[in-house]
Structure 1
Amino acid sequence: MSYITIDQVSKCYSENTVLDHISLLVKNGELVTLLGQSGCGKSTLLRAIAGLTEVDEGSIFIDGKEVTNLAPRHRQVGMVFQSYALFPNMTVFNNIAFGLRMKKMNSRSIKQEVQNMIDLTHLNGKEDAYPHQLSGGQQQRVALARSLVMKPKVLLLDEPLSALDAQIRKSLQQELKRVQKELEITTIFVTHDQDEAMTLSDRIFIMNEGQIIQSGTPTEIYTHPASSFIARFIGNYNVFSCKDFQQMTGNTEFDGFEVAIRPEVIQLSNVDESSMKNKEHYWVLQGRIKDRSMIGNVLRYEIETAKTNVCVDYLHHNVPSFVNGDQVLIHLPKKDCISI
């Protein structure tokens, strides 16, 4: 049963449609991600759930209660922004305690609740520090603790890690996932970063031009993209037109469709018959190494063929020793070529 229901929600600014009759369901305790490029409507949808943006049409339900027209303070929603929005003149303890004091909670209970959050977010020893004395990652933990201490029914996160450097960002992704699972709090996370969405999410909703164009688990979306747009956006797929694919392989089974294949499933070999794969399971093309580049622990080859370029990824320790200009055979596994 759904814990959050978004039913045919629309939002326009003048003639610009930002949300176009969006519907989605989120289960209790799930961490779902709204993923998309800038301007696709994901942050507007998050703000609509929080009550910070009024919708023009549709309904929003949280835990079975319609909240479409409720003020933000009555929705029991916690929101963490990219900017953190900490009070610069308050210590870590007082930033976290602020909402509880507004609720007139007694001081003993406040101390216990804040300490629980400090323990949960690994901020021990920073209770008396001010925001300017903290790293970006520590500030983000304070913002998260300040939202969680209010015990919201739903946690909303609007690109909260995008301002951090790569190493801290990866560490906080794991911390955020740990905290979310430990508290079993229903969470909606907004990002434009595909890797971040894959790391964090139970399910992903991909948005484009104010609509949800595919949803599913990270594995489902990565292995079965619904369109060439998603294939290129989510997994760096090679996408071939039907005509190019037919001319490259002689195969007509994908007639009328584009054909996509992930770069890491393609294999390369030297141009000699003895190294060719079984043609029953592979389509084999000839090409020339055009470029090679390191992407983390992956070496990516860009290979020029008679019709188009093909990208092939290898883990660095398994990489074949090809250099720019080498002639190679490209082996496309038939089972991994999908029509989109």
Structure 2
Amino acid sequence: MCEQNHIWTLKDVRMKGRGGCDRLREVNIEIRSGVTVMVGCSGAGKSTLLNVLVGFEQPDAGEVVLHHDLLKGYRHLVYWCPQSGGLWAGVTAGEHVRMVSGIKKKDVRVKDVVRDWLGRFDLEGKEDVHVGQMSGGERARLSLARGLASGCGVLVLDEPLVSVNHADAQRYWEEIHRWRKETGSSVVFSTHFPEVVMREADEIVCMDEGEVLWSGAARDAYDDPVSEQVGRFVGELNWFSQDEGMQWLGAEAGRKLMETGMGVRPERITVKREDTSGLVSRGSVRMGVMVETVIRDIASGLEKRIIHTGDLVEPGARVRLKIKGVIDNDVGIDVKKDAQGSHEAR
């Protein structure tokens, strides 16, 4: 028995690899309806896990259960778009769309349906063009158009739109949003781009060397990461260990805020000038809307890189780190630790 919104359940899944290293190690997760994103460095096991979900590869051990009841009424339960696109050699772009859409060649609607799907991804006039005559970006867009036209319950994508420029990729994601709203379908995909994760994901699965480090709500990974590694998968992060917290934020704050370490996003931290502080700026550089400042602890000589918002800080200025939502870094803080080890400043 599974919860109503679980699409897949994986229990103790293992995939052997070369040289005695497992490609997947004891994976135990549940994939829910909505948008789930696999994140991790190259070689973490993201593509292997997607291959297992769609049945392209079979695990050496463990159980993979697709809960069909949640996908009733869709033309295809699952549709798979691998990194290569999985397009068919010798077949035109128009036929790629028609063949998965369920529309017969003689149907009077066929031309309009094909043109509509291709047009959504800027492939107008490409109906009769063969795959071998298309650019890499065009093939990536065709693969996605075909996936959406399939009428699937779950669309699984490995590194979608990676060969498409950023501005256009955002427009194509809007097409995916519209499709999801119209159909109620789910999406599972992998990516290396934190901004895509936070814009698209309901849930994320963090992977490293074939293991699932953490899975859960994307917002939780951003606001209250359980570790520095998990936190960095979804964006820039300032991580303070317990000892560092006492050094950089003040002894009382270190004791109260960081029993296991704490991640602070750039928008939550500022570098304030304070003449009596024991910290000094080594200089700042602007990185788009964020600023990188290197600060040095005068007493120990240790340095730390801080990514923050606000103004540049000139070298030699005495400074203090201020966390948004905390009145004072060493007074007026109450911290509640939950069962998972997360922290909430009140």
Q: TM-score range by the shorter chain?
A: 0.7 to 0.9
Partner of 1:20: 25
Compared CA separation, residues 241 and 149, structure 1 to 2 (3 A): closer
Partner of 2:272: 269
Partner of 2:320: 330
The aligned length equals 314
**Distance in 1, Cα, partners of 2:222 & 2:203:** 12
Q: Is the 8 A contact 1:5 1:23 kept in 2?
A: no
Please tell me the root mean square deviation across aligned C-alpha atoms, in Å: 3.2
Q: Is the 8 A contact 2:141 2:161 kept in 1?
A: no
Unaligned runs of 5+ in 2: 70-74, 330-334, 336-340
**Distance in 1, Cα, partners of 2:139 & 2:131:** 6
Unaligned runs of 5+ in 1: 66-73, 274-283
Compared CA separation, residues 127 and 4, structure 1 to 2 (3 A): same
Select 1:302's aligned residue among 291, 294, 303.
294
Return the letter of the residue paired with 1:263.
Answer: P
How far does residue 94 in structure 1 lie from its aligned partner after superposition?
2.2
**Distance in 2, Cα, partners of 1:301 & 1:61:** 48
**Distance in 2, Cα, partners of 1:116 & 1:59:** 40
Q: Is the 8 A contact 2:153 2:186 kept in 1?
A: yes
Partner of 1:311: 306
Compared CA separation, residues 255 and 168, structure 1 to 2 (3 A): closer
**Distance in 2, Cα, partners of 1:289 & 1:64:** 58
Select 1:41's aligned residue among 39, 45, 67.
45
Partner of 1:77: 78
Q: Higher mean Cα deviation, 235-244 or 126-135?
A: 126-135
Partner of 1:60, secondary structure, is strand
Compared CA separation, residues 172 and 150, structure 1 to 2 (3 A): closer
Q: Is the 8 A contact 1:157 1:188 kept in 2?
A: yes
| TM-score when normalising by structure 1 | 0.78
Return the letter of the residue paired with 2:279.
Answer: Q
Compared CA separation, residues 130 and 200, structure 1 to 2 (3 A): same
Partner of 2:332: none
**Distance in 2, Cα, partners of 1:180 & 1:55:** 30
How far does residue 124 in structure 1 lie from its aligned partner after superposition?
4.1
- Residue by residue over 1:159-181, the C-alpha shift from the partner in whole angstroms, topping out at 9 and shown as x without a partner, is 02222333333333333333333
Q: Is the 8 A contact 1:287 1:327 kept in 2?
A: yes
Compared CA separation, residues 160 and 247, structure 1 to 2 (3 A): closer
Partner of 1:107, secondary structure, is coil
**Distance in 2, Cα, partners of 1:217 & 1:104:** 38
Q: Is the 8 A contact 2:39 2:206 kept in 1?
A: yes
**Distance in 1, Cα, partners of 2:238 & 2:122:** 42
Q: Is the 8 A contact 1:239 1:260 kept in 2?
A: yes
Partner of 1:279: none
Q: Is the 8 A contact 2:36 2:201 kept in 1?
A: yes
Partner of 1:70: none
- Residue by residue over 1:144-200, the C-alpha shift from the partner in whole angstroms, topping out at 9 and shown as x without a partner, is 122233322321100022223333333333333333333321211111222211111
Higher relative contact order (CA 8 A, sep 6+): 1
Return the letter of the residue paired with 1:288.
Answer: S
**Distance in 1, Cα, partners of 2:241 & 2:303:** 10
Partner of 2:338: none
- Residue by residue over 1:2-33, the C-alpha shift from the partner in whole angstroms, topping out at 9 and shown as x without a partner, is 342222122112521122222322334x1111
Return the letter of the residue paired with 1:118.
Answer: L
Partner of 1:107: 106
Partner of 2:256, secondary structure, is coil
**Distance in 1, Cα, partners of 2:144 & 2:259:** 49
Select 2:67's aligned residue among 63, 70, 81.
63
1:242 maps onto 2:235 in alignment: no
Compared CA separation, residues 26 and 259, structure 1 to 2 (3 A): closer
Select 1:257's aligned residue among 254, 257, 260.
260
Q: Is the 8 A contact 1:232 1:238 kept in 2?
A: no
Q: Is the 8 A contact 1:291 1:301 kept in 2?
A: yes
**Distance in 2, Cα, partners of 1:262 & 1:82:** 31
Q: Is the 8 A contact 1:92 1:128 kept in 2?
A: yes
- Residue by residue over 1:236-257, the C-alpha shift from the partner in whole angstroms, topping out at 9 and shown as x without a partner, is 2222332232234122235753
**Distance in 1, Cα, partners of 2:31 & 2:263:** 30
Return the letter of the residue paired with 2:156.
Answer: L
Q: Is the 8 A contact 1:7 1:58 kept in 2?
A: yes
Q: Is the 8 A contact 1:285 1:331 kept in 2?
A: no
Q: Is the 8 A contact 1:97 1:114 kept in 2?
A: yes
Partner of 2:36: 32
Partner of 2:186: 186
How far does residue 34 in structure 1 lie from its aligned partner after superposition?
1.0
Q: Is the 8 A contact 1:202 1:217 kept in 2?
A: yes
Compared CA separation, residues 92 and 271, structure 1 to 2 (3 A): same
**Distance in 1, Cα, partners of 2:282 & 2:213:** 35
